[in-house]
């Protein structure tokens, strides 16, 4: 009995000690030695909070500074490189037509259309031209982002609807594995024997768009996959690609579609990103086995058709977008040769928002550099910046849009204006202020009032495609007008 009593006393003392520590941490100042301190608040879930600033007052402040930002001259030069020097007459014609079709509004608060801030409104011209051709290769779109799109949320529906309209099948690129592999419904994959390197926590490796690379642990590794029936266009593909970047004569064995025959190859040794391709009428399952593979590195697989549209999901939970400045130009160049993208969509913001921060000039400066770097890495690709989605916190017992969302959205529009690229208002497409509350109530978003469910992602995908098609209508009319 004495032992039980002693143990209880020790536990009680420990709990009291922990309580005092938590109270002490809550009493820390807002900043210490120049660093911002996040308070530990045991009652945060039930404490009534007031917004640091009202949405009305913040909206008024932002409207006062809504004037168009001058595009950086060097970046403006980048945006016109694709067409050498755009004829001034053509620019004037396109500008006039653009004003007519967009009713003269500079900012679209409802996410109905794309805001193209490029010279002559040619920010998506290469992408739309590729959509109109669709001949020798598929039109490729990369969606890079954070946890907002992980597991293929939003991207799955965007891919499916684009393929319905413009053709194509398959999930596209998938990394060797990912934190969401177990619950991603658009592909079933299993691995053995790999070491994961991620740009999130590693500065030694060279990275391209996926931000991940995978190295064989010892001398043998496997990748197995099975296509999914989440959508009909995912059930089978005509092309299977293994994308790798480092080998010293690795032996590869491939069995697909349950065939008794095994493909045996020695992968060619090269210092750049390469791919091994299998063509078949209908590929649904496969298993790669690698032996004599010490030091072998792979990026992932691609399951797709050789026509129509391919949409690749490059999500990295926790990525603010600033990590993209660390992409290796040489790796990106070799990746672009085997897998060229006509459009790269940049979806970031959730990992930048801080409810106590309303000034994001530091983020604007860094992201403009990121976009410039991406243009250097992928010089023949168009870029589209998605604005941050709605995110709510509980204030005075009710969930409301965080004022920081409006501040960051305003900054992202300025980023697009100054970088001279197209911008799409995701926040507006959701319905604007407090729209996340409606999404949660409908089951379209999780109860963290931050992340979408697949049902909510479908709504965003539809709105994005609609906005792109409206912009494509302008492009097609402008091309006819200036000819």
Say what the pLDDT of residue 142 is. 98
For residues 265, 270, 274 and 277, what is the CA-based torsion angle, rounded to 10 degrees? -20
Domain 48-168+309-483: give its CATH code. 3.40.50.1110
Using CA atoms, how far residue 207 sits from 182, 190, 235, 272, in Å, is 24, 23, 30, 12
Q: Write out pLDDT tens, residues 359-372.
A: 999 999 999 999 99
**Tokens standing for residue 198:** 């991620």
Kindly indicate the confidence band of residue 229, based on its pLDDT and cuts at 50, 70 and 90.
very high
Q: Write out pLDDT tens, residues 406-419.
A: 999 999 999 999 99
Say what the pLDDT of residue 442 is. 97
**Does residue 88 sit in helix, strand or coil?**
helix
**CA–CA dist 246, 207 (Å, integer):** 13
| Sequence spans of domains, the chain | 1-45, 48-168+309-483, 169-306
For residues 419, 421, 425 and 429, what is the CA-based torsion angle, rounded to 10 degrees? -170
**Tokens standing for residue 251:** 């032996």
Helix axes 403-419, 55-64, angle to 10 degrees: 20
H or E element: which one contains 422? strand 422-424
**CA–CA dist 226, 328 (Å, integer):** 31
Kindly indicate the confidence band of residue 19, based on its pLDDT and cuts at 50, 70 and 90.
confident
Kindly indicate the confidence band of residue 82, based on its pLDDT and cuts at 50, 70 and 90.
very low
Fold for the domain defined by 169-306: Jelly Rolls (2.60.120)
* Strand runs labelled E in 228-308: 237-246, 251-256, 263-266, 274-283, 285-291, 297-304
Kindly indicate the confidence band of residue 93, based on its pLDDT and cuts at 50, 70 and 90.
low
Kindly indicate the confidence band of residue 67, based on its pLDDT and cuts at 50, 70 and 90.
very low
H or E element: which one contains 428? helix 426-430
CB 208, CB 331: distance < 8 Å: yes
Give the HSE-up count for residue 413: Cα atoms under 13 Å, Cβ half-sphere.
Answer: 24
- The larger pLDDT score, comparing residue 113 to residue 43, is at 113
Percent above pLDDT 90 for the chain: 66
**CA–CA dist 482, 388 (Å, integer):** 35
Say what the pLDDT of residue 8 is. 74
Say what the pLDDT of residue 1 is. 47
Beta partners for residue 397, in sequence order: none
Q: What rounded mean pLDDT belongs to the chain?
A: 86
H or E element: which one contains 443? none
């Amino acid at each position: 009995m004495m032992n039980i009593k002693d143990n209880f006393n020790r536990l009680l003392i420990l709990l009291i000690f922990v309580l005092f520590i938590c109270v002490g941490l809550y009493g820390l100042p807002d900043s210490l030695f120049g660093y911002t301190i996040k308070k530990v608040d045991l009652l945060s879930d039930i404490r009534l909070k007031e917004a640091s600033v009202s949405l009305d007052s913040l909206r008024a402040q932002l409207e006062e500074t809504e004037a168009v930002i001058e595009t950086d001259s060097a970046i403006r030069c980048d945006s016109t490189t694709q067409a050498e020097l755009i004829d001034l007459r053509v620019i004037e014609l396109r500008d006039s037509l653009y004003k007519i079709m967009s009713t003269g509004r500079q900012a679209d608060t409802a996410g109905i259309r794309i805001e193209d801030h490029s010279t002559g409104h040619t920010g998506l011209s290469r992408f739309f031209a590729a959509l109109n051709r669709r001949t020798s290769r598929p039109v490729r779109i990369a969606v890079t982002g954070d946890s907002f799109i992980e597991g293929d949320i939003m991207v799955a529906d965007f891919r499916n609807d684009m393929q319905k309209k413009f053709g194509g099948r398959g999930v596209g690129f998938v990394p060797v594995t990912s934190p969401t592999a177990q619950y991603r419904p658009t592909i079933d994959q299993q691995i053995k024997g790999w070491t994961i390197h991620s740009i999130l926590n590693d500065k030694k490796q060279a990275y391209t768009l996926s931000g991940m690379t995978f190295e064989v642990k010892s001398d043998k590794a496997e990748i197995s996959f099975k296509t999914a029936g989440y959508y009909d266009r995912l059930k089978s593909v005509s092309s299977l690609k293994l994308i790798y970047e480092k080998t010293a004569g690795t032996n590869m064995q491939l069995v697909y579609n349950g065939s008794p025959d095994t493909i045996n190859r020695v992968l060619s040794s090269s210092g750049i990103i390469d791919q091994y391709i299998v063509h078949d009428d209908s590929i649904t399952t496969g298993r790669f086995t690698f032996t004599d593979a010490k030091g072998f590195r792979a990026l992932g697989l691609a399951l797709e058709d050789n026509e129509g549209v391919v949409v690749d999901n490059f999500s990295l939970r926790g990525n603010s977008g600033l990590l993209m400045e660390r992409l290796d130009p040489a790796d990106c160049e070799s990746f672009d040769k085997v897998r060229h993208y006509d459009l790269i969509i940049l979806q970031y913001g959730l990992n930048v928002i801080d409810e106590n921060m309303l000034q994001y000039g530091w983020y604007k400066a860094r992201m403009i550099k990121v976009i410039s770097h991406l243009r250097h890495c992928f010089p023949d690709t168009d870029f589209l910046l998605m604005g941050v989605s709605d995110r709510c916190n509980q204030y005075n017992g009710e969930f409301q849009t965080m004022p920081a969302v409006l501040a960051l959205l305003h900054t992202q529009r300025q980023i697009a204006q100054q970088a001279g690229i197209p911008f799409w208002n995701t926040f507006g497409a959701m319905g604007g202020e407090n729209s996340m509350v409606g999404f949660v109530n409908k089951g379209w978003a999780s109860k963290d009032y931050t992340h979408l469910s697949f049902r909510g992602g479908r709504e965003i995908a539809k709105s994005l495609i609609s906005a792109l098609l409206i912009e494509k209508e302008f492009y097609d009319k402008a091309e006819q007008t200036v000819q």
